[in-house]
Amino acid sequence: MAEKGNIYRISGPVVIAHGLESPKMYDVVKVGKMQLVGEIIKINGDDAVIQVYEDTSGLKPGETVENTHRQLSVMLAPGILGSIYDGIQRPLDKIKASSGDFIARGVNVEAVDTKKKWHFVPVAKNGSEVKQGDIIGEVQETGLIKHKVMVPVGMNGKIDKLKEGDYTVTDKICGIIGSTGSKSDVSMLQYWPVRIARPVVEKLPPHIPLITGQRVIDTFFPVAQGGTAAVPGPFGSGKTVIQHQLAKWSESDIVVYVGCGERGNEMTEILTTFPELKDPKTGKPLMDRTILIANTSNMPVAAREASIYTGIALAEYYRDMGYNVALMADSTSRWAEALREISGRLEEMPGEEGYPAYLGRKVAEFYERAGMVKVLNGKIGSITAIGAVSPPGGDISEPVSQNTLRVTRVFWALDASLANRRHFPSINWLNSYSLYMDDLGGWYSENAGKEWVQLRTEMMGILQKEAEINEVVQLVGYDALPEKEKETLDIAKSIREDYLQQSAFDDVDTYTSTKKQYIMLKSIKMMHDAEAKAIDRGVLVEQMQKTTAKEKMARMKFVKEADIDNYFKEFEGSLSDFESIESGNK
């Protein structure tokens, strides 16, 4: 039975209600005549402080508040994939169909279609013992993903009356008889509170990289499957472009993209382009394995705070089926701003720059829900969390960036000056780092090439040496440099322009396999060695600029994967050009 109270005070999205009997933290409530969705975030004596996920314009003191006695939860069932939700899992396409282009206040639309029938195929047997998390059947949710129907958390016993058939998500598919003889009905629909992490058996150490096809990431700053990465950068530095590329190309089974407080035109681009994209490996629509959560900057601030939790809860559900999930949060700065605004309305003591004192804990709680884990049914699944941060003016010394860097193990430092020079991805190779290199080195050596780690170390050394030489150049000029240092600058330029720079809009260059990356690295190393030998013979760097090998190296990133082996042989042959150049020292 719902318990009702009355509105006492309204402050933006924060409402104080009197008279709710036995309210509990994080209970969802319906506020006012329009039944606006809200959540209890503080209890002070007889007063319940509620954050409302919708615009509170027009609310008046004295209107009723109704307690649902359920925490803010996500609906978990077949039909989630391919959906576009707002921050509290309301499907935007259904809202548009019912109330037009703008979300009407108080609209109540179910997250999944409860009338659609799905063909359920059992994988467990009647009478068999099952425990929480065990897979009892499958549904072909999309052309790419099989939905594994699991025993709800907290339920154990013997399966009763399980059979194949066409069911809606609310239909009973079987019963489970507990040890005491009690019987529970099981359907394909479950609810899970978004702020509570789903249980796992064991968290596993990272050892497999999340291959993204972006050379600067895979080679120099890789993130592990189940890892965490931060992408701080100023306005216009390419955060969203990188997030898009990772969503399209990363080797994950499921992609959850949370647009948290981003500008409306950016989210529009995502919502219009994603449904048209094809999965590069199967040719089927990318939306068949994607969930989009759209919460733009003009939407209510409280829903922005909830959107991050909605995204990670959906990611955990598919992880528990044994899938590898990539979660993109763009941007966590807007989420932190929502925390700051709500904290201010609650009159809490502010911390640094006005953010709540518990900001660090909130950020850590979110990223700690990522990881490669052994789930309850014994399968291995993972969530890789990649969060964009938008520090004001690009200053990463501000609290959100610093708290994020404390808990994430990969830092992709976006550089506006690189973006202005049209160098994408605009990840600064001198400021970025990955703490997964030692964990992933064995995988790269075994699967990409034995010399991978050595080549990567040598190429990074050349880029660092370039930075040192450039400081000297500013003092004495380029012409005063010895030829060996000129050659270092020449090879560093090749690494930057022929390898690290990558076009997201070119059909070939947008994605590079680890095999092709290894061949490209090897080619740069071979050219470096050939140039060094030529310099020892007295050849000038200027003389080596017009060789065929240089031209072929510049074109290598546009060579199709199927043709790269033959192209590499041609490149090897062209290295003899360096031997035929006559000495420039006379």
CATH number for 64: 2.40.30.20
Flag the least confident range among 41-45, 286-290, 390-394. 390-394
Rounded CA gap, 359 and 353, in Å? 11
Q: Is residue 236 included in any domain, yes or no?
A: yes
Please indicate whether residue 268 or residue 190 has the higher confidence score (pLDDT). 190
pLDDT at 326: 96
Same domain, 472 and 375: no
**77, pLDDT greater than 90:** yes
**388 vs 370, more confident:** 370
C-alpha radius of gyration, the chain, whole number = 28
CATH of the domain at 388: 3.40.50.300
Tokens of residue 518, six digits: 């290894």
Q: What pLDDT sits at residue 290?
A: 92
Q: What is the pLDDT of residue 317?
A: 97
The better pLDDT of the pair 394, 217 is held by: 217
Q: Are residues 263 and 373 in the same domain?
A: yes
Domain boundary among 188, 216, 235: 188
Looking at the structure, tell me whether residues 348 and 427 fall in a common domain: yes
Per-residue model confidence (pLDDT) at position 371:
96
Same-domain check for residues 374 and 244:
yes
CATH number of the domain that residue 175 is part of: 2.40.50.100
Does this model's pTM top 0.75? yes
Q: What is the mean pLDDT of residues 69-77?
A: 93
236 has a pLDDT exceeding 80: no
For residue 85, being part of any structural domain is answered with no
- Confidence band, pLDDT 50/70/90 cuts, at residue 584: low
Residue 195 maps to a domain? no
The answer to whether residues 427 and 464 belong to one domain is no
Q: Does the structure show a pLDDT above 80 at 130?
A: yes
Burial tier of 558 (Cβ tally within 10 Å: 0-12, 13-18, 19+): exposed
Q: Does residue 467 share a domain with residue 351?
A: no
Give per-residue pLDDT as tens, 460-504: 999 999 999 999 999 999 999 999 999 999 999 999 999 999 998
Q: How many domains does the chain have?
A: 4
Determine contact, residues 534/540, Cβ cutoff 8 Å.
no
Stronger pLDDT, 241 or 293, i.e. the higher one: 293
Of 581 and 301, the structure prediction assigns the larger pLDDT to 581
Joined tokens for residue 444: 């790269």
Return d(Cα 242, Cα 214) in angstroms, integer.
9
N-to-C CA span, the chain: 98
Any domain includes 440: no
What's the mean pLDDT in 251-270?
Answer: 81
CATH number at residue 544: 1.10.1140.10
Is residue 334 domain-shared with residue 395, that is, in the same domain?
yes
Residue 134 has pLDDT above 60, yes or no: yes
Section 57-72 average pLDDT: 92
Q: Does 310 lie in the same domain as 346?
A: yes
C-alpha to C-alpha distance for 273 and 291, rounded to whole angstroms: 14
Residue 571 and residue 586: Cα distance in Å, rounded? 30
Say if CB 332 and CB 258 are below 8 A apart.
no
pLDDT confidence of residue 585 = 57
DSSP-derived secondary structure for 329-358: EETHHHHHHHHHHHHHHTTPPB-GGG-BTT
Domain assignment of residue 105, yes or no: no
User: Does residue 276 sit in the same domain as residue 366?
Assistant: yes
Beta carbons of 228 and 412 less than 8 angstroms apart: no
Task: Give the SS3 label for residue 580.
Answer: helix
Claim to verify: residue 300 and residue 211 sit in the same structural domain? yes
pLDDT tens figures, 111-129? 999 999 999 999 999 999 9
Q: Are strands 290-296 and 254-262 parallel, antiparallel or unpaired?
A: parallel
Q: Are residues 219 and 338 in the same domain?
A: yes
| C-beta separation of 424 from 501 below 8 A | yes
pLDDT at residue 586, rounded to an integer:
46
Considering 188, 215, 231, which residue would you say is the last residue of a domain? 188
Rounded Cα–Cα distance for residues 31 and 33 (Å): 7
d(CA 278, CA 288): 9
Q: Model confidence at 516, in pLDDT bands (50, 70, 90)?
A: very high
Domain boundary among 13, 46, 71: 71
Residue 568 · residue 534 · CB < 8 Å = no
Q: Identify whether 443 is part of a domain.
A: no
Query: Alpha carbon 164 to chain centroid distance?
Result: 36
314 belongs to a structural domain: yes
Judge if 57 and 181 occupy the same domain.
no
Question: For 564, which DSSP code?
Answer: H
How does pLDDT run across 428-470, given as a tens digit for each residue? 999 999 999 999 999 999 999 999 999 999 999 999 999 999 9
Give residue 239's pLDDT band: very low, low, confident or very high (50, 70, 90): confident
> Domain span at residue 163?
118-188
Say if 124 falls within a structural domain: yes
DSSP state, residue 563: G
